[in-house]
Structure 1
């Protein structure tokens, strides 16, 4: 059967793709249709046809699935931020658990029996809304010439106007409206990507959920922001406002933030508390956007690593001595591990405390600014048993092993970006012979690819668990434990 562009087709959605898009078949030929749910019967328009599959746009739902629900956000469909608001939360969690499971099965080549024994239930949220502690709003001008903010439509740089994202705290709306009002009142030009002219590119807002501290950062092409004193006076009266700054980005680029920061009010950072630890967060700091789920995920990573307040003992009763945290960012997991050791040490009788005094936690991260943040956070929490290095792991680890051929690690924890780990890092990890290898992942596909290498080196998958870190989106986090 052949299909033509703009042809109307009838589909029953029977499966979901990697990004949560529905899949329906006609005579065995699959079409991907966004904004649909398994069980939907829909009318769709053919958009593109390739050799083995096609893409179609949803026209109408003729018979809705029991898992379909109305999106909370009025712009959920055109906005590029959420992909799953039309899906019940129970169905979303099932999709995400299956996504991790299927990647480990198909990409990782891990047998179903092992997966079923190792798999723990996905950890969802009690309330999967208003969980984000950070938002970046592009600023532009609409067809009527009015200054607007919102989010980019999927795969475009067209702004979908929205000042009340259902994933962000309510106070972000108040702040954004105040900023837009000021820009309009004082005739300050938003940046135009096409011409490269204009001043204000983005508005960045961050909040420490535990402290209530709020940061407002304007991303501008210049630090010469008009009426800046008046702007600060107006914005600092917003409850919780702790820091106001300008980030200068004069480049013609899709990168949102530049490297230069000018502080207009406060100290240029806010603080938050995660797992009982304080973290200092600036405009450029990497910090998990969902602190509730991040704490749960990191505590599970500690459990998998054998680092709990009940003990730091490996199989066979051997004491943990060396822990490596690869891709450590601002040191969150590193400091969780160091703090766990410290708390355990405090519980021990005086004659046993020395057993943990030699434990070292090594944090490794490619971004120098993140390592500076990590050192600040270690000092902020009076942690002395953690050390940090700013280097690419694929360069640092092989060189470290050349200089220290007998080096071993008791535990290696990795938390790489979506692209996963470089093969050199995996080779070095195998050479360091950790008793436990804990992989924190933000992409199930690269998790599966990397675990396949570790399994080929003799490791075994013992446990894994998915975490819904980005509710109402298709993104899924997971943590896995491998042992010899």
Structure 2
């Protein structure tokens, strides 16, 4: 049985970035996933988790040879054993985007067999004060904060520098019963919405409840704590890219899967016109209600409140374009094969996880659809998360 290394310190040279906010090092024949390090650095790493497998996890607790990309984290609790909300505060903005590009490229290469030169684009704004919605939790002493990485331990916070100031202040200003979650959202008009969920209890809205957002040339009124892009520039940016690649014809039939409140459906509806047809499929009842209300002026949009993996089997007809924005786990084989059976000309895939995207690209590829375009966006600065938009078309000949 392998000796448990938890608590042991090792001097290691850090290698390439890996998916999940860490880099890869090797010691005594084992892989060590090291957080708070950068490629090329020589560090002292303390093992934080060892389950006896071929790998273990560690934090870089001392930097012996720093990378030129290393910077001082702007948040005092962004470090080993502290808040788990951010992964890359110790890297410059350019370096963060290069690291994320490397992850996307590596996942496509390893899981889909696709070589693709990836560039991660910055969204307008700063690395800080971009997060419009966040969920804090009260620790044992009642002070709200965020959990440590891979832990239930709560790190109390005075501020969260990546969160908009009013949203951060609203969630961190008062002590709560231990275990209470406090969700705050600052909408496009600067109004802050606060809800709390006591341990074992039901959510209770304290202020607001219906947010107003702006994207795709329209205002959106929707559940303040429902699904909407967290970065204030993300929704409009993604809607623009989806529209450019969808290019749906006047009068065409198109599908918007995992439609949320209908952001992409609104873009598609404008392309197909009133003589066209947009099927918007979404499982969240509140999101569908919000979508129907927001797009009431677009009769060509037909809503179906259902789980995509179940309902898509019964949808007939051939769409010209399919847009899908699945959850982090991806669409999966069944959904991909249902889309393929419908034989769309173009598929526009919005992905928040590069590994899930790569797995689904591999499945599409097995059915003759190839990756034609890819754009990646730094919609979650300081974290390891990256948003991608991909275009797939059927291989000819």
Residue pairs, 1:393-404, within 5 angstroms: 393-401=308-316
Cα distance in 1 between the residues matched to 2:211 and 2:393: 38
Say yes or no: does 1:332 pair with 2:263: yes
The residue that corresponds to 1:191 in the other structure is 177
The residue that corresponds to 1:289 in the other structure is 230
Structure 1 423/283 Cα, relative in aligned 2: closer, same or farther at 3 Å? same
Give SS of 1:421's match.
Answer: coil
The residue that corresponds to 2:78 in the other structure is 76
Residue pairs, 1:325-404, within 5 angstroms: 325-338=256-269, 340-341=270-271, 356-379=273-296, 382-401=297-316
Cα distance in 2 between the residues matched to 1:139 and 1:50: 33
Give SS of 1:278's match.
Answer: strand
The residue that corresponds to 1:136 in the other structure is 135
Structure 1 168/481 Cα, relative in aligned 2: closer, same or farther at 3 Å? same
Aligned equivalent of 2:151, options 151, 156, 173: 156
Give SS of 2:288's match.
Answer: helix
Q: CA contact under 8 A between 1:163 and 1:176: conserved in structure 2?
A: no
Deviation at 1:434, TM superposition (A): 0.5
Structure 1 215/457 Cα, relative in aligned 2: closer, same or farther at 3 Å? same
Structure 1 282/99 Cα, relative in aligned 2: closer, same or farther at 3 Å? same
Give SS of 1:291's match.
Answer: coil
Could you report, residue by residue, the CA deviation over 1:204-239 in whole angstroms, capped at 9, with x for unpaired residues? 221113x22221223346xxxxxxxxxxxxxxxxxx
Aligned residues: 388
Structure 1: 5+ residue stretches without partners: 184-189, 194-200, 222-248, 251-257, 307-311, 314-318, 343-355, 402-406
Say yes or no: does 1:85 pair with 2:89: yes
* Structure number with larger C-alpha Rg: 1
Give SS of 2:233's match.
Answer: helix
Q: Which has the higher helix share?
A: 1
Cα distance in 2 between the residues matched to 1:383 and 1:51: 54
Q: CA contact under 8 A between 2:17 and 2:103: conserved in structure 1?
A: no
- Using structure 1 for the length normalisation, give the TM-score: 0.75
Residue pairs, 1:8-23, within 5 angstroms: 8-23=9-24
Q: CA contact under 8 A between 1:3 and 1:49: conserved in structure 2?
A: no
Cα distance in 2 between the residues matched to 1:294 and 1:41: 39
The residue that corresponds to 1:273 in the other structure is 214
Structure 2: 5+ residue stretches without partners: none
Aligned equivalent of 2:254, options 323, 330, 352: 323
Say yes or no: does 1:202 pair with 2:181: yes
Structure 1 174/480 Cα, relative in aligned 2: closer, same or farther at 3 Å? closer
Say yes or no: does 1:429 pair with 2:339: yes
Q: CA contact under 8 A between 1:362 and 1:387: conserved in structure 2?
A: yes
Give SS of 1:302's match.
Answer: helix
Cα distance in 2 between the residues matched to 1:79 and 1:372: 36
